[in-house]
Amino acid sequence: MFLSSPKQELHSRAAGKRRRGTAAVELAVIAPLLCLLFVGISELSRGIEAKVTLSDAVRKGSRTGIQRDKGNTDIFNDVVNIMRDSGYDSTKFNPAPPGTTSGPANIGSVTITVTDPNGTTLSDALGAPPDSQVSVQVSIPVSSVKWVFSVFLKQSMIESETVVMLKQ
């Protein structure tokens, strides 16, 4: 059997304590970087989630707008309903209804453009002739999307792509 000397035992205990101290220092150095990485990933994924929600709202609004018996108010209501279903209440998304001017209480916007086959812009999708283009665009401020701070989301507004469909 191997017997160790008291001097060797003291040396191995001291080395174990030093290693635990080293691990604590390494954790203290790495932890802020890991937290920053986690916050960045969270903020970026929240922005991407908002972009997908805006695209869903625009698609639904465009599909509503191409129906014969639907107008700008129906498009607007469908867009707002999709946003509400996704968690954007009136404190995060509260656009002005079509035909009204935007005020300080309004957050975000819904832009509906209807163009007839001759290229003339119409005021409402309800009376548009067949083959008219209906385009819908939705934007929301980054402040309605972010959780922590906007280092990772530099823009002031997040906008959806404009979806254009032909009126039936």
> Where along the chain do its domains lie?
6-166
* Confidence (pLDDT) at 25: 87
* Confidence (pLDDT) at 24: 82
* Confidence (pLDDT) at 137: 93
Query: What interhelical angle do 6-65 and 72-85 show, nearest 10?
Result: 160
Contact assessment for residue 89 and residue 37, using Cβ atoms and an 8 Å cutoff: no
Whole-prediction pTM = 0.76
Q: How many CB atoms lie within 10 A of CB 37?
A: 10
Phi, psi at residue 134, to the nearest 5°?
-115, 120
Strand spans (E) along the chain? 109-115, 121-122, 133-141, 157-159, 163-166
From first to last of its 168 residues, what are the pLDDT tens digits of the chain? 555 666 666 566 655 555 667 888 888 999 999 998 888 888 888 888 989 999 999 999 999 999 989 999 999 999 999 999 999 998 899 999 988 888 888 999 999 999 999 999 999 998 899 889 999 999 998 888 776 665 655 667 788 877 787 877
* Confidence (pLDDT) at 78: 96
